Amino acid sequence: MHRFPCHRCGEDLVVALCVDYEKITHWVEPVQNAEWIEGVLGAPIVNVDANFIVPTDQRDKDFAFPRLTQMQERIEAAEENGSLVITSVKEMHAKRNERPFRRPDYEEEWRLLKTTWSLQRRGRDQLIGDRLKAASEIYYASDPLNSVQDWLWRFMLFFSQTAFERPFTDAFGLIQPLFQGEEFKRFREHYNKMSAERAERYIEILKSYFESYDQFTQVHFHVVGGIDVPDGNMASSVNFPAVKMFYGNAFEALSSSVDILAYFGNMIAGRPFDQFQTLTLKEYLRLDKPSRFGPLAGIPEFDALCFERDNHLRNASHHGGTRLNAETQMISFQSGKGGHGQTQQIGFAKYLARCDRIFMQMIVLFRLEIMMCQVAAGLTMPI
Residue 332 counted as domain residue: yes
135 and 222 co-located in one domain = yes
117 and 43 co-located in one domain = no
Residue 97 counted as domain residue: no
Domain extent, residue 47, equals 2-80
pLDDT tens-digit map of 82-95: 655 556 666 666 77
131 and 43 co-located in one domain = no
Contacts of 283 (CB under 8 A, 6+ apart): 276
Average the pLDDT over each of 60-74, 137-151, 243-257, 339-353 and give the range with the smallest value.
60-74
243 and 296 co-located in one domain = yes
41 and 155 co-located in one domain = no
CA dist list (Å): 213 to 51, 310, 335: 10, 22, 27
Question: Is residue 296 left, alpha or beta, with left meaning phi > 0 and alpha meaning psi from -120 to 50?
Answer: alpha
- Final residue of a structural domain among 46, 80, 114: 80
Task: Yes or no: say if 26 and 40 are a contact pair by the CB < 8 Å rule.
Answer: no
Peptide bond into 30 cis (omega under 30): no
Residue 380 counted as domain residue: no
Residue among 321, 16, 369, 341 nearest 197 (CA):
369
68 and 113 co-located in one domain = no
- Final residue of a structural domain among 46, 63, 80: 80
Number of domains observed in the structure of the chain: 2
Q: What is the CA radius of gyration of the chain?
A: 22
Does residue 46 surpass a pLDDT of 70? yes
Query: For the whole model, what pTM was predicted?
Result: 0.89
- Final residue of a structural domain among 80, 97, 117: 80
* DSSP H or E stretch at residue 65: none
The conformation of residue 280, written as its DSSP 8-state character, comes to B
pLDDT tens-digit map of 245-303: 999 999 999 999 999 999 999 999 999 999 999 999 999 999 999 999 999 999 999 99
Q: Cα–Cα distance between 314 and 245 in angstroms, integer?
A: 8
